[in-house]
Amino acid sequence: MSRLAATRVTESDDDDETIAGHGNNRQHDVVLSREEFDLLQAFHKLIPVPALSSGITRVVCDEELQVGDEA
């Protein structure tokens, strides 16, 4: 399975977020593994990705979504 196929993309309706001031409140969340997240962040520092810079797409590490066990 390719990385692209393993990437999960979700759309969320978040009233706090607007895309480029056009009144559209849809935001795309991309969930990546820790390794993919780190690679994308390093790439984004060298060559800014417009969707990330503008806030259209939010990249989240799958480790951040996991709920820890409470004893």
* Cα–Cα distances in angstroms (integers) from residue 26 to residues 18, 20, 29, 65, in the given order: 7, 11, 10, 20
pTM: 0.57
* Cα–Cα distances in angstroms (integers) from residue 69 to residues 31, 49, 65, 66, in the given order: 21, 35, 13, 9
Look at residue 68 in the predicted model and tell me its pLDDT. 73
Per-position pLDDT tens, the chain of length 71: 344 444 455 544 444 444 444 445 567 899 999 999 999 999 999 999 999 999 999 999 998 887 777 76
Amino acid in the structure at residue 3: R
